A and B are shown apart, each in its own frame.
Chain A
Amino acid sequence: EVQLVESGGGLVQPGGSLKLSCAASGFTFSSYEMSWVRQAPGKDLEWISFITNSGGSKYHADSVKGRFTISRDNAKNSVYLQMNSLRADDTAVYYCASGHFEYWGQGTLVTVSS
């Protein structure tokens, strides 16, 4: 069974940092590109980051560029999202998904508030 399980969300103060993890199982992780997508409460989906299967190429949305960094560890079947300089408008459920969105995790909530 394919699973993507996100972790690392929580409450953080503005300006703070958080690192999200996404553990994959049930498919050949190293063959798949991966993405992060977020959804603010009651709002639409927003694609934010993408990484190729080797990790050699990465893309980020302008809204997070310079603050968020996607990475992966194929030996651990995991993809990460390092989030720095967090702002209130980063509050959202963060989903990891396979590169072409075949598989999605259940999401992890990040709340940025003082």
Chain B
Amino acid sequence: DVVMTQSPLSLAVTLGQPASISCRSSQSLVYSGGNIILHWFQQRPGQSPRRLIFNLSYRASGVPDRFSGSGSDTDFTLKISRVEAEDVGLYYCMQGAHWPWTFGQGTKVEIK
């Protein structure tokens, strides 16, 4: 199975400051056609997960533009340009290029 490794596992950020979460896969996530099937999800406390970024860098509908995804092959990053209070929660990367689909361990984002 493809192992997804996130770092850090916990992140305390000052409001208005940037934040960055890394995700690494044990295999390339380049799918047929050259797409990279790597998604990012946000799970606020007590809520269901919500898709933020799909296929490496495409923002999902309604997601603020302070969220961005980047990377290549096996190394990926989710960036929040200016953290707001509503960004508190867990963030997960997930690969959809190989069966079984697998999630990272999650990164907890808190406000400092």
Pairing of A with B: yes
Residues of chain A at the chain B interface (Cβ within 8 Å): 35, 37, 44-47, 50, 59-62, 95, 97, 100-102, 104-107
B101 in contact (CB, < 8 A): yes
Query: Which residue of chain B has its CB nearest to the CB of A98?
Result: B51
The A-B contact count (CB < 8 A) is 50
Tell me which residues across on chain B come within 8 A of A60, comparing CB atoms. 100
- Cβ A95 vs Cβ B106 within 8 A: no
- Cβ A45 vs Cβ B101 within 8 A: no
- Cβ B100 vs Cβ A62 within 8 A: yes
User: Given A104-B49, A105-B48, A106-B48, does the pair A47, B103 have CB atoms closer than 8 Å?
Assistant: yes
Interface on chain A toward B: helix, strand, loop, or mixed SS? strand
Query: Which residue of chain A has its CB nearest to the CB of B101?
Result: A47
Residues of chain B at the chain A interface (Cβ within 8 Å): 1, 39, 41, 43, 48-51, 54, 60-61, 92, 94, 96, 99-106
- Cβ B101 vs Cβ A50 within 8 A: yes
- Cβ A95 vs Cβ B101 within 8 A: no
- Cβ B102 vs Cβ A37 within 8 A: no
User: Given A95-B49, A105-B48, does the pair A44, B101 have CB atoms closer than 8 Å?
Assistant: no
B90 smallest CB distance to A (angstroms)? 8
